Amino acid sequence: MNRYIILTPALGNMGGSQMYTANKCIYLENHGWEVNVFYYLDFPIKIKSLEKHKSNLIPDLSYGFYFIPSKRRREILNRIKAFVRKDDNVIVETHLLSLANWGELVAEEVGGRHIINFLEEGVPVFNDRQSAFFEFKLKNWEFINAHEMNLHRVFKEHFKEDFLQYEHRIDFMCTNVVDESDDTHYDFKVSDYTILSIGRLDKPYVVTMVEEIKKFVSEFSQQTFNLIFVGGSNSGEEENRIPAVFHEFGNVNVYMLGFTFPVPLSIIQSADVGIASSNSILVTADLGIPTIAVDMYDYNAIGVYGYTTQNKFLRTDEPVIPISTLLKDVLLADMYPKSEQSSASYSDAMEKEFEKELAFLKKSSGNDKVYYNVDAIYSRKKHLFSHLKWYVHEKLGVK
């Protein structure tokens, strides 16, 4: 039996990682794989196909494995191993670099192969020992989204030119969130312009985006604006903070829709401009809405996607542009009008992409199953001190 084990941060709420996980699970199951997904953040599950994995919540996966005492670590590994039969061909996939050590331990426990497929946008600085682990995975063809930009993001000063021979690019299929048949009615007020933001509100760029929108609407006080935010924050704080920013603006109506799935097509069609970063850009852009792409590091606009840029994450040679400037270009100068939605079949694109991701597994299939000693990455002192912190947090309730 082919078995695919996924370690991911969350199944609940709504974001690109949840949609990607759901899409990949469906593809794998349709192609004969048994799939088990484990996660550590407990939020209401919006995507119905993920509900079957609801009982696989393991909060301790939120810690680096070296925080977890050996007895508890054994319990976690045994819990995951219980799903695996002796003759299973097992692939373990991890969606965060912080989960990669766990993935290596699980793979060794079940005799499988561990593939790193990190989804996070903010990558920390890793020390020599941590970078050596990622280099081992890369050179073993077990680092699936290893295109050049990501390699620089992960390795930083540890990057080596010969890493490029292991380069591999994937497209995260996670933007099929719009439902044309959803007739949910939203009572939006009539306005001159509608600005739509799609994406999690706790992403770093959101603070800058909101300030830039504020700057724009304050400059054009004779026009009226609807601001629609599809997405929420895990803490719930942004849902209160953002409306407060526009509280004194009589020309602005703010609509906080929270984690919404599926997104009714009518919401997308009501927008005159979208603002987003990473793959959320495609939700509006593919439906013909001029969409401002935001750089994930400097939080300024990269450009209008499909017109002045094809980048969804980081700028290459595009100039740094304030979001408020592009709002003027799109809404007032009408430089980038709405267009016809993409006619390409998303389901066909998903089939091809996930076929490519499975084909990648063949690159490491002939290798001996050698596992990295992740325990050796961290000193004994680090293990003991981290165990103490885990104990204080879990047993005494001290955060």
Which residue type does 206 have?
A: V
- Per-10-residue mean pLDDT, the chain, length 399: 97 96 98 98 96 98 95 97 96 97 98 96 93 97 95 96 96 90 82 97 96 97 97 94 96 96 93 96 95 97 97 95 98 93 81 95 87 95 91 74
Task: Using alpha carbons, select from 219, 273, 224, 214 the residue that is nearest to residue 246.
Answer: 214
Per-residue pLDDT at 131: 98
Full set of structural domains in the chain with CATH: 2-174+351-396 (3.40.50), 178-332 (3.40.50.2000)
Per-residue pLDDT at 250: 95
Give percent helix, percent strand, percent coil of the chain, each to the nearest 5.
45, 15, 40
DSSP 13-63: B--HHHHHHHHHHHHHHHTT-EEEEEB-B---B-SGGGGGGGGGB-GGGGS
